[in-house]
Structure 1
């Protein structure tokens, strides 16, 4: 199991411990074994009798072993029937989801190759995502988020699994004129976003954007009401709809990195993401952060992304974000 998978498992353990596991997630990237391992880890954390005491599944009990072997009745995986996931499969899945759990207190549905859903299947799934059921969690596994309907993407939280060949991607970006520090960050975005950022790349402009977002995140993470001022003073030039959506993805990256470092068993270990890593290290060294607040930051950013995707003014959405997150102290 690689370090990235372990970090995501820790991240989801914290969500479950704080009762903040969302109803829907989209796992993107090429690391299918890692995605599957994280989903199984979520199921084990929800079902294992030892989780409440230890904060993680034991991996050894009969329940954990059955989940690892895909033998747990309340976890269902859908795979493409031929080249696509068909509408009949989604309808059968929906019928299964609304029934009471057989053994546990939850249900988990996994759709592999979710990008292969035909339009009818995707629309059938959308009706379920629009009215989530308590204690039912959906995991969509896809290589690229952009291959799914925007309406589906806006109703699930996206987590990107970095490819093992990320060093090659960073090298390609540098060959296109992107600085090393920026390439390490840009490589973490989806391929569509990477293409857009490289096409419009300006070193000074993107540096100012990243630094403004770093400052904004610092204030959000610590509940500092100055976050509201930063929207006007530093972020306003970057508040087109598309750049706001990219900004939220960047803030989610920062938040995930902060949570993973804050909860890592080896607190001296840091992700290799250049200026972003340096910023997160400084934030953790100088501030006392509450994991419950950071998990709330994550959920609120997701809600803001939904609003902006639904044509709410980016500035207004960010102002509401600052007001909500900076009332906690």
Structure 2
């Protein structure tokens, strides 16, 4: 990522970072908050390059020509450290190892930088250990923490860093980026809307889970529309076996909500669909349902999400939702 690319998506963030680089007055710590993990890491690496760059002209940083820039880009600069979750969390030992390495002078320069990805996943002991480094950074040190959940970070850590909030990408932009990364149109369209959920499922299994969940929702929506008496059977056989807990049910309800929004969008002639491969089914349902009915269905799903959060029994909640969807009220 370069400044121009970052500016195209995050103009305010880019202006703040560039001005700090140009004035050579970078704070010792930043917290980058946003939904797009790739964008956060790209911006963090860009800032590290600008910080480590050996160019004499601040407005040229990063120059991408000096050895400092090239090493940061390649990921093997001896004075730039990346920390990622080890399993489900960032542990105290990882932070202590970082502090031990940074207790010595930079191997090739007086500057040192580190990026902590998904900093909200630090254990309490790791966060408290990091706090010491943020309070007494020592030397020319730049710390960048990235997070999608700022409220999960210790308030004392947040208060000791400059927080920059990255505005969310539009659904279409997220979808475009996912397709550029090799995702199919169908999967990119859904992932652009629900994100990396469910987060408790390992990344390698998450793709299969969302593909299967998407198919369950398509089938259930079709039963509600064409064969209402069969919908309850499908609910028992497929919905409850796939969406097993409240977190996953909430995602399933989101997928349902996107289905009815797509039906409404199809009625309006819009093309930015969450289910672009289901256009014929969407058109058929759009033809047979009024805008009032679709609005009522979307309201029913949103109310189900609210009741789910209030600990209503999931099975009863879904049976009641099906009834409301069939009635269109």
**TM-score, with normalisation over the residues of structure 2?**
0.47
* The structure with more radius of gyration: 2
**TM-score, with normalisation over the residues of structure 1?**
0.47
- Greater relative contact order structure (CA < 8 Å, 6+ sep): 1
